[in-house]
């Protein structure tokens, strides 16, 4: 790695063949990309219902959280790296590499002979998953113009939601009917199909150029983010700061600060700081954090509530999450189609964040005996809000940045959403534990005994959801800061030039900011 004055990178030719792809080819490519994203999203949650059986088999209950954390760590920290590397060396080959790495990690995880081996191999899985998340959306940006991208991007939001909700259901079924090892083996046939489709259909035009990889930035970013995630995960497992959290958190902050300083002087930065001068990128980054925190918080705690309070089986609890999925899928697809038709996207971000905030408030009203239909309606509202703006943020960013930054820009938004999920789940988990203890002490002080585990857990969960409402409201306020740049109708090296009509030109993208 070498440093020097930062400047614009040489263009990388990575896009469709001359004449573009036909609609049929695009659909086939989308199927391969969605299968890849499905795998990565599925493995964030599918293992949760198998953890108890895994821990019993290996007699290492004290390590079960790391089966999830190792995957989350490696998939999160590698996401921005994949984006930058794909900008430099081409999207297709790097995406294929990510699939192969993910499948290798899946096979090894299924063959694990100890808890330590499983944790390590789950980390290998995560190394591949980081590329599956970000590169799938980046390739969409390569092959489809922004104006037409909405109707395809909406399906990706649906796939992400389906995988996140189906994960616990599929995991419970496989554990009950086969073995926990099939939680990992099930990835193999799906991944092979995705690899075959991408290899045969995607024909990215890429010309390699001489470049210098920012190894210093890579090490600082991986180290800083990994330590921050370790800190929040450690703190989220108990109601007070652990020794690990106390040293990992501050050190992680120092490394992240050093990463920001380093990127300002690197010749080929992992994340070009100039992107944060782009309105769409900076606003979407913050909103991505909120999206992840709210979505993963709901997905993690609702099954826990259904199983511990309502005494529902893991398999059935997964089915009870379907209203959230239906809401997310419906609004994600519908908003994508409307964006492609009308060329406007900001309204969906504004309305989506508002609906999400309302949904989180409704979730804070859940009682021990809340009816199934009422609970389903609450989940539908949350899902509908997320579906309206989750993929819309990707469209806004891809439309506002140049083709040479497509990979790093898209992966950065994916990174912030994943990071938000990790932080949100940990913080809400710590709040839930703390509030549950508060409720138990209040019961003892008032009644001389604890009224019941179900009652205290539900009250603590409600309080945790209530704390997320102000965060969602802040996201609603931030949504008004998002500038609406006219969606481009062709794929090019930069955002669309200013056109005649009402509006002003954005100084970063060169695109027309609509009034």
Give dist(CA 26, CA 24) in Å, integer. 5
Query: pLDDT, tens digit, for every residue of 388-443?
Result: 988 888 888 888 888 777 777 888 887 888 788 777 777 777 777 777 777 777 77
- pLDDT tens figures, 79-131: 888 877 887 778 888 889 999 999 999 999 999 989 889 999 999 998 998 88
Q: What is the pLDDT of residue 117?
A: 92
Which has the closest alpha carbon to 275: 84, 76, 88, 92?
A: 84
Letter string b/e over residues 121-134, b meaning 16 or more CB atoms within 10 A of that residue's CB: bbbbbbbbbbbbbb
Q: What is the structure's pLDDT at 159?
A: 78
For range 39-49, the mean pLDDT: 78
- Mean per-residue pLDDT for 18-45? 77
Q: Tell me: the pLDDT tens digits for 268-317? A: 787 788 888 888 899 998 898 887 877 776 667 787 788 778 888 766 77
pLDDT at position 368:
87
Q: How far is CA 370 from CA 81, 114, 207, 300, 469, in A?
A: 45, 41, 59, 18, 20
Closest CA to 294 of 176, 423, 198: 423
Q: Who's near 267: CB < 8 A, 6+ residues apart? A: 2, 3, 4, 5, 6, 7, 212, 214
Alpha-carbon span 336 to 342, nearest angstrom: 10
List, for residues 346-393, the tens digit of each pLDDT value.
999 999 999 999 999 999 999 988 988 999 999 999 989 988 988 888
Phi first, then psi: give them for residue 3, nearest 5 degrees.
-115, 165
Which among 218, 214, 184, 227 has a CA at the least distance from the CA of 73? 227
What does the pLDDT read at residue 130?
Answer: 86
Q: What is the mean pLDDT of the chain?
A: 78
The answer to pTM > 0.85 is: no
Average pLDDT of span 474-485: 90
Confidence of residue 508 (pLDDT cuts 50, 70, 90): very low
237 vs 307, higher pLDDT: 307
pLDDT digits (tens, 9 = 90+) for 176-233: 788 889 989 989 998 898 888 888 877 765 555 556 677 888 888 888 888 887 787 6
The distance of Cα 417 from the centroid of its chain, to the nearest Å, equals 4
CA angle 374/51/455 to nearest 5° reads 35
């Amino acid at each position: 790695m070498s440093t020097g004055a930062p400047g614009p990178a040489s263009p990388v030719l990575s896009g469709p063949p001359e004449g573009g792809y036909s609609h049929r080819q695009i659909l086939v490519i989308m199927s391969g990309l969605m299968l890849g994203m499905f795998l990565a999203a599925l493995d964030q949650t599918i293992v949760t219902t198998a953890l108890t059986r895994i821990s019993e088999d290996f007699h290492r209950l004290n390590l079960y959280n790391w089966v999830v954390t190792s995957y989350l760590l490696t998939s999160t920290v590698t996401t921005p790296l994949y984006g930058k590397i794909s900008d430099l060396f081409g999207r297709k080959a790097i995406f294929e590499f990510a699939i192969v790495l993910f499948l290798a990690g899946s096979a090894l995880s299924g063959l694990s002979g100890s808890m330590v081996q499983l944790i390590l191999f789950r980390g290998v899985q995560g190394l591949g998953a980081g590329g599956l998340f970000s590169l799938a959306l980046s390739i969409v940006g390569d092959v489809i113009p922004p104006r037409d991208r909405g109707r395809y991007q909406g399906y990706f939001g649906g796939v992400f939601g389906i995988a996140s909700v189906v994960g616990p259901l599929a995991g419970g079924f496989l554990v009950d009917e086969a073995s926990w090892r099939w939680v990992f083996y099930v990835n193999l046939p799906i991944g092979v199909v995705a690899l075959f489709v991408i290899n045969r259909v995607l024909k990215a035009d890429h010309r390699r150029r001489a470049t210098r990889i920012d190894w210093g930035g890579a090490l600082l970013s991986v180290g800083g983010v990994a330590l921050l995630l370790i800190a929040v995960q450690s703190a989220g497992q108990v109601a007070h700061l652990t020794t690990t959290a106390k040293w990992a958190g501050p050190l992680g902050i120092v490394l992240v600060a050093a990463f920001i300083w380093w990127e300002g002087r690197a010749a080929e930065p992992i994340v070009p700081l100039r992107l944060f001068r782009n309105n769409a990128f900076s606003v979407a980054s913050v909103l991505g954090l909120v999206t992840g925190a709210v979505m993963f918080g709901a997905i993690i705690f609702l099954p826990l509530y259904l199983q511990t309070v309502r005494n529902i089986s893991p398999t059935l609890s997964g089915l009870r999450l379907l209203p959230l999925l239906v809401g997310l899928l419906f609004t994600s697809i519908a908003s994508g189609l409307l964006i492609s038709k009308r060329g406007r996207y900001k309204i969906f971000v504004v309305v989506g964040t508002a609906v999400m905030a309302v949904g989180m408030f409704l979730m804070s009203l859940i009682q021990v005996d809340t009816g199934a239909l009422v609970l389903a309606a609450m989940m539908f509202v949350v899902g509908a809000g997320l579906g309206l703006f989750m993929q819309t943020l990707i469209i806004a960013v891809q439309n506002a940045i140049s083709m040479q930054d497509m990979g790093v820009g898209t992966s950065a938004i994916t990174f912030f959403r994943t990071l938000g999920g990790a932080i949100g789940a940990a913080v809400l988990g710590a709040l839930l534990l703390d509030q549950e203890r508060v409720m138990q002490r209040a019961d003892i002080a008032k009644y001389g005994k604890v009224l019941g585990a179900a009652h205290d857990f539900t009250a603590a969960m409600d309080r945790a959801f209530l704390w997320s409402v102000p965060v969602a409201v802040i996201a609603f306020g931030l949504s008004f800061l998002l500038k609406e740049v006219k969606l481009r109708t062709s794929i090019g090296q930069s955002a669309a030039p200013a056109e005649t009509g009402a509006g002003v030109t954005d100084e970063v993208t060169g695109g027309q900011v609509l009034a």
